[in-house]
Structure 1
Amino acid sequence: MSALSASEIARLQVTLRRLFGSPTLTVNKPPRPGLSVELSVNNEVVGTVHRDEDEGEVSYAIHVTILEEDLPEA
């Protein structure tokens, strides 16, 4: 996996906001090189975004983490 450019981060944010219908979704550049790009909703980090390039084709994978304690009561 390789790092995301500033242009990719901006384009992903536009696409993900449209896809999920969430204007508060943000794709955040890592504060330091080597750290993951974070995906946030309402300023709460909900996951990470990773870039993969294979045979000249680029794709992006989102890993969303939901803690059991954040789920509603059964």
Structure 2
Amino acid sequence: MKPDEIRKLDAYLKRTFGTDTIAVRALPKQNDTAEVYLGDEFIGTLTKDTEEGELSYHMTMTILDIDLE
């Protein structure tokens, strides 16, 4: 993703979740995917989708059963 997209997504997630500890980080050599961190912990990915001419972003977060204990 482009740096301006990363900045906008980062600001959006900080506003939405009410925390400055969330961060969106670009992935080298990836045009459509970025990683999301909460502090130093990886929590998911953001993927850009341009299906049918409309731009949207999808966040995927995996929660392991051991994390729920």
Aligned equivalent of 1:6, options 3, 25, 35:
3
Work out the CA distance in 2 between the residues paired with 1:16 and 1:55: 25
TM-score by length of 2: 0.87
Bigger relative CO (Cα 8 Å, ≥ 6 apart)? 1
Work out the CA distance in 1 between the residues paired with 2:60 and 2:52: 23
Work out the CA distance in 2 between the residues paired with 1:28 and 1:6: 9
The corresponding residue for 1:58 is 55
Q: Which runs of 5+ in 2 are unaligned?
A: none
Q: How does 1:1-74 map to 2 (within 5 A)?
A: 4-30=1-27, 32-34=28-30, 36-72=33-69
Work out the CA distance in 2 between the residues paired with 1:67 and 1:13: 24
Moved >2 Å (runs of 4+): none
Work out the CA distance in 2 between the residues paired with 1:18 and 1:34: 25
TM-score by length of 1: 0.82
Q: Which has the higher helix share?
A: 2
Give me the identity figure in percent.
35
Aligned residues: 68
- Structure of greater Rg: 1
RMSD over equivalenced CA pairs, Å = 1.5
